[in-house]
Amino acid sequence: MAEGTEKPRIAAVLLAAGESTRMGEPKALLPWGGQPLIAHQVSALHEAGYAPLVVVLGHGAERVAEALPDHITLDVAINARYEQGRTTSIVLGVLRLIEAGVDGVVIASVDQPRSAGMLRTLREAFERERPQIAVPSLGGRPGHPPLFSGGLLPELLKVSEETEGLRQVMRDFGEGRLLVPVDDPLTLTNLNTHEEYEAALKPTGG
């Protein structure tokens, strides 16, 4: 990318292939702000300026796909190997971006609802500072989702369950990590159980 001539292309991979075993129902379809959670996540990433946007589906893919917004351009990837772990979805999503010439990619999970404002703050900080990795932080505590430099795409293709997925990349390139202060109260939130879901709804009014 020629300096100053093009806006950086920051892509997003949204992971939504899991079985939601602990929740007992598809997390992607949980109501969130008047729409399915996956629709909220896609809309937030789109509104925050991430493109291209890859959504990785797996368990119950056909049903979940019906909940995707039809006014947003998406690359939907179906992970037939989702039972082998989250890293198979990461690799599949990143593979879709190898030829896209992106300058960065955020790896988001459908069970970590985030606001468009927070996601935009993360992207803008990354574009200003151009670190290897940027993560949002709340009260000094690092949260999710992580945003990786385009130069780390080959490293993301190597992730596996055996090496703890993205944690290995974070360890190997942690010296280049930028903490981005945000005020989204859900920055540290994961939705694994109904109790966590109900608790997360309270600050959003969702």
In the chain, what are the domain boundaries? 10-204
- For 57-96, the three-class secondary structure string (H helix, E strand, C coil) is ECCCHHHHHCCCCCCCCCEEEECCCHHHCHHHHHHHHHHC
Write the pLDDT tens digit of every residue in 95-119.
999 989 899 999 999 999 999 999 9
What is the CB-side half-sphere exposure of residue 3 using CA atoms within 13 A?
2
The encoded tokens of residue 14 equal 């949204």
Q: Could you give the CA distance from residue 174 to residue 198 in angstroms, rounded to a whole number? A: 33
User: Averaged over 130-152, what is the pLDDT?
Assistant: 96
The CATH number assigned to the domain with range 10-204 reads 3.90.550.10
Residue 158's alpha-carbon distances to 49, 79, 166, in angstroms, are 27, 17, 10
Q: In which element (H, E) is residue 147 found?
A: strand 147-149
pLDDT band for position 3 (50/70/90)? very low
Total Cβ atoms within 10 A of residue 183: 12
Structure letter (DSSP) for residue 205: T
The encoded tokens of residue 176 equal 């280049």
Q: Could you give the CA distance from residue 65 to residue 204 in angstroms, rounded to a whole number? A: 25
Q: Could you give the CA distance from residue 67 to residue 25 in angstroms, rounded to a whole number? A: 15
Strand partners, 181: 137
Which has the minimum average pLDDT: 28-32, 163-167, 185-189?
Answer: 163-167
User: Averaged over 21-39, what is the pLDDT?
Assistant: 90
pLDDT band for position 2 (50/70/90)? very low
Q: Could you give the CA distance from residue 77 to residue 56 in angstroms, rounded to a whole number? A: 5
Q: Could you give the CA distance from residue 83 to residue 19 in angstroms, rounded to a whole number? A: 8
- Looking at per-residue confidence, does 38 or 174 come out higher? 38
Evaluated on CA atoms 188, 193, 195, 197, the torsion sign reads: positive
Q: Could you give the CA distance from residue 27 to residue 20 in angstroms, rounded to a whole number? A: 6
Residue type at 201 in one-letter notation? L
pLDDT given at position 204 = 54
pLDDT band for position 164 (50/70/90)? confident
pLDDT band for position 203 (50/70/90)? low
pLDDT band for position 181 (50/70/90)? very high
User: Is the N-terminal amide bond of 142 cis, ω within 30° of 0?
Assistant: no
Residues sharing a CB contact under 8 Å with residue 7, sequence separation 6 or more, in sequence order: none
pLDDT band for position 56 (50/70/90)? very high
